Amino acid sequence: MTRTKTLQNMPDHVAAIVAAGYATWAGDDGDTTFRERFDAKRIPVTGVRNVRVWGLQVDDERELPGLERTNIPDDEIWEINLEAIDGSHYEVDSRMLIPVE
């Protein structure tokens, strides 16, 4: 997939984070120790990455009589690269973040 196509397919909430250039946590969930590595109100955004997790199809009549085919759908994950207070970078699931102006 080309970079242009990836940017065209970017969900609105991810595009808003990238456009703002800064993010903060969407909620209080998550590891407190990890969150303390970042600024409490404005976390610099240094990049975005799109990851596609391929689904799975299982065919086995012996294990699932009458349900020979089990499908797990594909999943698309958008990761935001954040800069910590010490300058290190971490990739975080975009659903955990909101944009900050």
Q: What does the pLDDT read at residue 57?
A: 64
Per the domain annotation, does 58 fall within a domain? no
Residue 38 has pLDDT above 60, yes or no: yes
Residue 66 lies in a domain: no
In a domain, 73, yes or no: no
Which residue range is the domain that position 41 belongs to?
Answer: 3-50+80-99
The total number of structural domains that make up the chain? 1
For residue 74, is it within any domain? Answer: no
Give yes or no for residue 56 having a pLDDT over 80. Answer: no
What's the whole-number mean pLDDT along residues 41-53?
Answer: 92
Contact criterion met (CB below 8 Å) for 6 and 50:
yes
Which amino acid, residue 95? Answer: R
3-state secondary structure of 95: helix
User: In this structure, is residue 32 part of a structural domain?
Assistant: yes
